[in-house]
Amino acid sequence: MTHTGRRPGIRLLVAAGLAVASLATALAPAAAQDDFIIVQSTTSTENSGLFEDLLPKFTEKTGTQVRVVAVGTGQAIKNAQNCDGDVLFVHARPAEEQFVADGYGVSRADVMYNDFVIVGPKSDPAGIRGETDVAAALKTISGSEAPFASRGDDSGTHKAELRLWEIAGVDPAASSGSWYRETGSGMGPTLNIASGMDAYALTDRATWIAFENKGDLEIVVEGDDRLFNQYGVILVSPDKCPSVKAHLGQAFVDWILSPEGQKAIADYKVGGQQLFFPNADKSSG
């Protein structure tokens, strides 16, 4: 009788134990699936092959996967403002600083830099090859009405291009659809269009080096200080976006700014050419 009286209690304990075990099993894959971050980034970090080389090193060290949304800087910022990401990695400093000032970002830090160049057909119809004043080169392109392919997509490169046209005193939008062609596309597709129509285009050097369909295009203008291209990284604010994985996102920011992350950036080369130059540590140049 004594043993019989204990059986229901034993059954309850066993059932409870099985329920806890089942819950733990169910939660384990969910936790593993949650071990990733979303980085909203510019297309150049993706098109150049940098992320393909860089991100596995971060994942190997931390176990955190990185999912990249590679779009123009303007769209990346909008996505981050809509809480569709944990980290912002782009190249339009005034827009980045505004993003932080508006409370969407925790803080901004320099990561790396390279430069923009103007590429054009070998025939160089505007006669700007070797010009070191980018504003003068753009003014000459406008005056000659030589074809120019613009991304026209509010990307970091497009923002830089518009700033340079303004310095040159030219409103290219007035000639939209004639010699000035706005592709509304990323850097790779825009270079493809420029190659197909023998047009000039502004591109970041990293994408240009990694771009395979150069056709008759070549670099015709480079070296102006105004072509400097700085990249920044920002953790999206968990105050604005409670869904942000702040701990994992900050770990990525810390790693990319660390000596290890900076070395990984410096070590990435295509055809023996370094594409990006780390500068998180200003004191070391």
The tens digit of pLDDT for each residue in 197-234 reads 999 999 999 999 999 999 999 999 999 999 999 999 99
> Can you give the pLDDT at residue 33?
53
- Confidence check: pLDDT of 63 > 50: yes
What whole-number distance in Å separates Cα of residue 219 and Cα of residue 120? 6
Tokens describing residue 168: 């040159």
Confidence class of residue 281 from pLDDT cuts 50, 70 and 90?
A: confident
What is the structure's pLDDT at 284?
Answer: 40
Stretch 252-275: mean pLDDT, rounded? 97
Three-state SS across 165-223? HHHHCCCHHHHECCCEEECCCCHHHHHHHHHHHCCEEEEEHHHHHHCCCCCCEEEEECC
pLDDT given at position 22: 46
pLDDT digits (tens, 9 = 90+) for 116-135: 999 999 999 999 999 999 99
Q: What is the pLDDT of residue 38?
A: 98
Q: What structural domains does the chain harbor?
A: 34-113+231-284 (3.40.190.10), 115-227 (3.40.190.10)
List phi, psi (to 5°) of 60. -60, -35
- Report percent pLDDT > 90 for the chain: 85
